Structures are given as structure tokens and as C-alpha cells.
Amino acid sequence: MPSAAALPEIYPAQGRLILTQLVSAPFPHPQRANGREFKGQFFSAKEHYADSAVAIFIPREFRETARIDFVILFHGWKNHVARVLEHYRLIEQFQESHRNALLVLPQGPYDAPDSFGGKLEDQDGFRRFMDEVMATLKEKSAVTNRQSVLGNIILSGHSGGYQVMASILDHGGLSDRVEEVWLFDALYAQTDRFLAWFEKRHGRLVDLYTEHGGTKEETERLMGIFKQHGVPFYSGKEAEVSPNQLRQSEAIFLFSDLAHDAVLQGNQAFRRFLESSRLEAMN
């Protein structure tokens, strides 16, 4: 597996990958200044909660406009940026979707069993983060129009990434900009925060779940709430859903036969969600 420092050299055929350190990145954070113990194992702050890396991908065919749209992806437990990009083929899927947006992947807890989102769970922490992302893009001439502003945002997350997403929707400061929310076997808890965003924003909510990933019960509870309140939604098998069904529904629940760690890339779900999203196409 390539080191994080080597990442920008790997994807020139797909576009430009910027690997940077941001002050507003999730870590370090005071709540993990002394590390964390989990099930008898200690995860030190130095090794697991000090990396402020953020990867930003600009597709080769990206067409700059006055408003820049973003897809943010939060990884789950025991992971890190370099592995996530390679293992889930995120950049390849993103480029193949031909959506006119940028992909952002913040480093969460580094190789640790932890869902905490650090500074992105602070009040207005996500707004500060996106302000710094926009400033960084302009400083590095990845965005040439100095007047460009933040457009719409898609929040996506795998597994433990749900917690930081829920906090962002609740008090991150940019909930009105979040157009879509994608949960890749990630609806473990804090469902009320996802529901509150959906009811207020009427964006697109996609919940992909598995038999043994630990999210089935909470997903079925949310579907029950929608039924009780007469909210229309689509429910079916991920392997059988059509592009039109993905496009036409605001609330989508997809059961996957894949293993928990395969839902992002196994059936090209990340690319398929991008292609059916409200993001503009490049051509």
C-alpha cells in the first residue's frame, strides 16, 4: 500500500489529488488529547489522533463554476486515508461518474476503533472546515476564480462515519447546503438527526445496509417511521435497483448481499450513487 505522501503521484490519469494538513481537520482534538482505551486496548493520541490530513480530489474534466459542489466521505473504524482511497477505489469511481464536483476525504481516528469526528463534531466545526477547504483550493490554484463560493454538499460515510455526519447535520453550520446524505452500512444510531435533516431539507437520503453489518435493525426502524408518517420511500435490493429508481426517490433503502467492508466498491455503489445524484454531469 502506498504511503500517504505518495498519494498525489498515483492518480494523474484521473485528475489532481491534493493531500494537505488543515487546522480545522478532525484531529487533533481535546477529547482525545490523552488517547482512548477501548476493550482493554489503548490507542495513543500520538499514533491515532494527531493526523490532520485531508485528501481533496479534482477530476481531470472538472469544469469550474461560480459555485463549487463537494462530496465528503467519512471512513469507518480502523482505517486511514491512503487505505480508503486504494481499497474502495474511491477516486476511480468518482472520476468514472463524470460528476462536476470535488471529493474530500478527511482523516478520522487513524487505524482506531472509534466513531468520534473530532473538530467536525464541534459547533460550526464543519463550516470552518469547508471554509478552509475552499481557501486551500484557491491558494493552490486548484480553483482559479477567487470569487468562487461553496455550492451544494453530499455527505457520505461508511460504517462508523455515521457519527460525524449526524453531528454535522445537527450543528455543523452548513445543514442548508447538504443536498444528499449517503450511509454505506452506517445507520447505527443518531437516526433522529438524519430524520430531522430529511424532514427540513427534503434532500436525498440513501441508506445501504447489510444482514450482519449491525445496521439492519435501525434501518428497519427508520422505514417504520416513514411508513407511520406517510413518507414515500423506495426499498429494494441494491444489486437490482435501476438508475431511474435511484434518481426518482428522495428516501432510498437498499439491502446489500455484500460483506460490510465491500459495500462501497463491491457493486460500484459509490459510482452509481454519484451518477444518480443531483450533481451536474461534466458533459
Per DSSP bridges, beta strands 67-74 and 149-158 are parallel
How far is the first Cα of the chain from the last one, in angstroms, to the nearest whole number? Answer: 33
Distances (CA, A) of 194 to 2, 128, 208, 225, 254: 35, 21, 14, 12, 17
List the domains of the chain with CATH numbers: 4-275 (3.40.50.1820)
Predicted local distance difference test score (pLDDT) of residue 127:
98
Quickly state the pLDDT bin for 276 (edges 50, 70, 90): very high
Whether the Cβ atoms of residue 186 and residue 161 lie closer than 8 Å to each other: yes
Pairwise CA distance, residues 24 & 111, whole Å: 20
> pLDDT grade, residue 186 (50/70/90)?
very high
Helix, coil or strand: residue 139: helix
**pLDDT tens sequence across 21-76:** 999 999 999 999 999 999 999 999 999 999 999 999 999 999 999 999 999 999 99
pLDDT, tens digit, for every residue of 78-131? 999 999 999 999 999 999 999 999 999 999 999 999 999 999 999 999 999 999
CB-based burial, 126-150: b 16+ in 10 Å, e otherwise: bbbbbebbbebbeeeebbeeeebeb
What is the rounded CA–CA span in Å between residue 265 and residue 261? 9
- pLDDT of amino acid 3: 65
